[in-house]
Structure 1
């Protein structure tokens, strides 16, 4: 946590895009992050999850994580750093067992939707409006107990959103030009599963079909070639 935030024991960071986030890291404080918009991959403790708009995640000091692009998607994320003593104090106040937060391999995750989504976003963004120090700390302590209580009793998304290892491997390999230019047959070959199963899992975790995934890759690649003036439009179309 930056020194300028330590007087509040609460940090605030709003980032637009995966490129603004840190590479694989851990820290000595807790963190909650909220996905304001978009989609991304969350690499966490050796697993990969899909992050969607409205997701709220409670990162523990023992967690190691980073973010990555999900095909052509990007995201906006709001991160709140929380010094350990605040979490300990609120757990004690609510009668929650802090150790329960640390038992699962993956951090607690909940999905907000509808009015709850907008209300939570407003509450979290108000942190930035509060003067650093006692005012910000007081405000955060007024909203954090409800959030922590939800994480304790309502967390149920972390395992559902874990991308299976085989699918993660396919996605990673299909990032390579030599693979995505060979299209769907190459993806099925790499996956070593039926086309029906591949399509079902792509829709479940990425919200698109394998063909849509490949077409987006090809379009982006074609745009790059045109911008670099290496080929004309007709040549790109027949790749």
Structure 2
């Protein structure tokens, strides 16, 4: 079956440069197609077979997918029935402007280059937040095109920096959905400061299983992963606050100051105090 090509000029308002849809059934989606624009879709309810670039993959509720302008895809119902999802389509110019704004520090090649598009399984809370952000577009009068356009760009900047940063990992695309969701949840301060007990609670997995999966997919251990998050947070507290170092140690989840100092020196090749002093020398108040 040959893919049809959809064009932004035929379905997306040129002033807004984006189009938002709530889709109640797979039956209301296009047959196999590609397009000259980009899109994000979020599955709100049910599951779907996503046929993408020659591969059939089952997507469950809470899954967020970014479709590039070169991807070829369509949808099929699962045996369990239909699904509902939200779709946001936008011009190539919008994504180019977003990547220019985010700069070289944003890993756009890890998003644009792989054979398969970025797919992220969100927690239920995160799914509801994204839905809320998308639904806000419906609160703006369609005639206020400049405001809708600004809201779309603000939304995309938030979604890409929040969910599409794709942490460095040699096999990110092979990570199971639950591990992607766990990684997102563990970036929350209340979780990484609590440590492995939060990881066990959030994931619902055993410690031994987590150790095997983290080693396989991330090349690290659960505690090393958590400590990396804690140290990154501590680094910023040292540079951006006047908190005492012992208080920073406790704030990021370390109960032992000596252990914190040892890990920090291994990571940054200097003590927390020297790190702060060096940073202050570069800043004029």
The alignment status of 1:134 with 2:146, answered yes or no, reads yes
Instruction: Assess, with a 3 A threshold, how the Cα gap between structure 1 residues 94 and 79 changes in structure 2: closer, same or farther.
Output: same
Q: Is the 8 A contact 1:42 1:51 kept in 2?
A: yes
Structure 1 or 2, whichever has the larger Rg, is 2
Gaps of 5+ in 2: 1-7, 178-285
Q: Is the 8 A contact 1:5 1:11 kept in 2?
A: yes
Q: Is the 8 A contact 1:57 1:107 kept in 2?
A: yes
Instruction: Assess, with a 3 A threshold, how the Cα gap between structure 1 residues 154 and 67 changes in structure 2: closer, same or farther.
Output: farther
Q: Distance in 1 between the 2:100 and 2:134 partners?
A: 22
Map residues 23-172 of structure 1 onto 2, 5 A cutoff: 23-95=31-103, 96-132=106-142, 133-149=145-161, 150-153=163-166, 159=174
Q: Is the 8 A contact 1:109 1:157 kept in 2?
A: no
Q: Is the 8 A contact 2:46 2:84 kept in 1?
A: yes
Instruction: Assess, with a 3 A threshold, how the Cα gap between structure 1 residues 159 and 66 changes in structure 2: closer, same or farther.
Output: farther
Q: Distance in 2 between the 1:75 and 1:112 partners?
A: 16
Instruction: Assess, with a 3 A threshold, how the Cα gap between structure 1 residues 49 and 3 changes in structure 2: closer, same or farther.
Output: closer
Q: Runs ≥4 in structure 1, deviation > 2 angstroms?
A: 1-6, 96-100, 128-132, 152-162
Map residues 192-211 of structure 1 onto 2, 5 A cutoff: none
Gaps of 5+ in 1: 163-239
Which of 22, 26, 36 is residue 18 of structure 1 equivalent to? 26
Q: Is the 8 A contact 2:44 2:86 kept in 1?
A: yes
What SS does structure 1 have at the residue aligned with 2:35?
A: coil
Instruction: Assess, with a 3 A threshold, how the Cα gap between structure 1 residues 161 and 39 changes in structure 2: closer, same or farther.
Output: farther
User: How many pairs are equivalent?
Assistant: 162
Query: CA offset at residue 61 of structure 1?
Result: 0.2
What SS does structure 2 have at the residue aligned with 1:6?
A: coil
In the superposition, the TM-score normalised over structure 1's length comes to 0.62
Instruction: Assess, with a 3 A threshold, how the Cα gap between structure 1 residues 25 and 3 changes in structure 2: closer, same or farther.
Output: closer
Structure number with greater CO (CA < 8 Å, separation at least 6) is: 1
Q: Which moved more, 1:19-28 or 1:107-116?
A: 107-116
Query: CA offset at residue 152 of structure 1?
Result: 2.6
